[in-house]
Amino acid sequence: MSILRIPGPLDPHVHLRGMDWSHKGDFATETAAALAGGYTAVLDMPNTPPETARPQALARKRRELDRTAHCDWGVYYGAHPQGNLETFPEAFQGVVGLKIYCNPTTGFMYMRSRTREEHFAAWRDHGLVAVHAEEEEVAAVLELVDRYRIRTHFCHISTRTELDMLREGKRNGLPISAGACPHHLFLTELDLPRLGSFGMMKPPLKTQADQDALWEALSDGLLDVVESDHAPHSLTEKQADEPAWGVPVVETTLVLLGTAVDEGRLTQDRLVQLVSTNPRRIFGIACPPNTWTDLRLGLAEPDMIAAANLHSKCGWTPFEGHRVTARVERVSIRDTLAMAGGRIKVEAGFGRPVVQQRIGT
Ligand code: DOR
Ligand code: ZN
């Protein structure tokens, strides 16, 4: 058994919900889940109503996070399919980047390619763009990156084909980075008969060959980050005739990755890069002093993941029953013990907005 101390793990991709979707999760419950899962900071996506695509909605989200978040936080602005270019200058101050949805998914922010190009180009002097792009949309966005040279992060990469396109893009010197999610790393489409709608998300679960390619790319550095894409939905919504897309995973990502270290599938150094050093460099977010997570590795008696022990409001996990040999022991944020032994030690509102400096390459 050993303890791996990770400097300020940052999850650059969560859907905390709150506001009009507080029945799925709220800023207090979902940041508690992040903290219990070992994250000291999270970056929240814009597709929850009222969508973070207008300065007023952005201000409201920031106010509510400020009052109720347990861990540190940042928010994305969203490109809106109806067009919100004119609001960009006002939004820039309060966000870590622009999110563009290039495929349909939860919410109403899917943007077709023509409008997409204008919004992509307009963010040029404002920092980083993160894209939801699957398969051929990865190729389409790479063309835009080539044309406009904007720092672009490709979220939740899930197939070998996508990885091949990104490898080529990196080889050509494009300013890009890419992330993979725990569900694509630890589940495949073969889990679907067992999981049913609880295994449905966008991008969907893929083949074993795709998963193998993701693990290779984690080790060889093509993938820069592991991001959870934590996306809680209520049990009723998941069991509906048309189930909602998305899985709540922020609380189990680090223990799953720690277990992969124990199994020799990932080195400790690489784990630290994927969940801390790289996301912090890419998004330009420095780690505050005395901010770290102690991850115990090599548990003699594995823990079993169970929704009953998790903090997310939604009350279920796609990893129910998974055995893990890693456990999050303690989290310190700015010299305050924020979580220990599964218990949250700080009040709602303790979390601070992240401080973004120059974004990295
Ligand atoms: O499965 C997903 N759920 N994928 C997304 O892109 C969005 C997310 C959500 O917000 O529910
Ligand atoms: Zn997402």
What pLDDT is attached to residue 357?
87
Name the burial class of residue 19, with classes exposed (0-12), middle (13-18) and buried (19+) by CB atoms within 10 angstroms of its CB: middle
Q: Would the CB of 132 count as within 6 Å of ligand 1?
A: yes
162-208: pLDDT as tens digits: 999 999 999 999 999 999 999 999 999 999 999 999 999 999 999 99
Closest CA to ligand 1's atom 3 = 246
Q: How far, in Å, CA of 228 to CA of 333, rounded? A: 20
Residue ranges in the chain modelled with pLDDT below 70: 360-361
**Ion ligand 2, residue ranges at CB < 5 A:** 229
Of 14, 198, 201, 314, best ligand 1 pocket probe by most atoms within 8 Å of the beta carbon:
201
CA of 104 to the centre of ligand 1 (A): 9
What pLDDT is attached to residue 126?
87
Q: How far, in Å, CA of 299 to CA of 302, rounded? A: 6
Indicate the residue type of 223.
L
What pLDDT is attached to residue 129?
98
Q: Would the CB of 21 count as within 6 Å of ligand 1?
A: no
Of 17, 229, 242, 316, best ligand 1 pocket probe by most atoms within 8 Å of the beta carbon:
229
> Ligand 1: which atom is nearest the Cα of residue 101?
6
DSSP string, 108-158: S-B--HHHHHHHHHHTGGG--EEEE--THHHHHHHHHHHHH---EEE-S--
43-60: pLDDT as tens digits: 999 999 999 999 999 999
What pLDDT is attached to residue 288?
97
